[in-house]
Amino acid sequence: MTWQPKWEPRYTRRDLTLANAFTAARIALIPFFALAWYHGDGERALWLFAAAVATDAIDGFLARYLNQKSRLGALLDPIADKMLVLAALIVGVWIRAMPIWFLAVIVARDAVLALGAILFSTRWKGRHGAEAWRPTRIGKYAMALQSLAIVLVLIDSTLDIGGLRPYTQVAMVFTAALTITAGAQYTVRAARAL
């Protein structure tokens, strides 16, 4: 009779997928992007940000259409997205390319979502599902608009394109409004779940 461990590893070889490799690449690109933009190399920062956003599209495609969904990927993908946007917002505010209210709106919404997810997974585990904190369509649109607004700010602060500033400001206002709407939607869903 051989001894068998009673625990199972949380992550397995199934987590070592090409989709997760692209997610890891996105995380690895974040400090290079942030440093490039902070040191005034906006063109390089723009390309690095675009590459990071591309890895998001690629890992999503691989996960859905090549059946490479995994527990690790479900954890890492949103973390990578939030880290990328947060790094861009912090540097953008620091170098005065973005207003601080834009950072405050997005961080506040993410903080509320993180707190809700923690409460649902710990305090109310077993009584209420985590459905209320799964991404909604509006939440996904808000995330896409955040990336678009950051790209517009990068272009505006790097390339000499006349007349882009008003569009950049409109994009930030619209993004903030959709981000707040998504946060309200999550809150309503959580209240219904409770």
The domain spans of the chain are 15-85, 98-194
Rounded Cα gap, residues 73 and 19, in angstroms: 8
* The pLDDT value given to residue 83: 93
Tens of pLDDT along 147-162? 999 999 999 888 777 7
Backbone dihedral angles phi then psi of residue 96, each to the nearest 5 degrees: 65, 30
* Structural contact between residues 192 and 132, judged by C-beta atoms closer than 8 angstroms: yes
* The pLDDT value given to residue 161: 76
* The pLDDT value given to residue 122: 65
Give the C-alpha distances (Å, rounded to integers) separating 172 from 65, 77, 89, 98, 150. 32, 24, 11, 9, 8
* The pLDDT value given to residue 84: 94
Query: Residues in the chain with pLDDT < 70?
Result: 1-16, 66, 68, 73, 117, 119-135, 193-194
* Structural contact between residues 42 and 26, judged by C-beta atoms closer than 8 angstroms: no
Contacts 24+ apart (CB under 8 A), 78-83: 78/135, 79/27, 80/23, 80/26, 80/27, 80/30, 80/56, 81/56, 81/143, 82/110, 83/27, 83/30
Put simply, whether the predicted model's pTM sits higher than 0.85 gets the answer no
Rounded Cα gap, residues 38 and 42, in angstroms: 8
CB atoms within 10 A of CB 12: 11
Where is 138: in which H helix or E strand?
Answer: helix 137-158
DSSP for 59-123, please give it. Answer: HHHHHHHTT---HHHHHHHHHHHHHHHHHHHHHHHHTTSS-HHHHHHHHHHHHHHHHHHHHHHTT
Rounded Cα gap, residues 98 and 153, in angstroms: 7
* The pLDDT value given to residue 137: 82
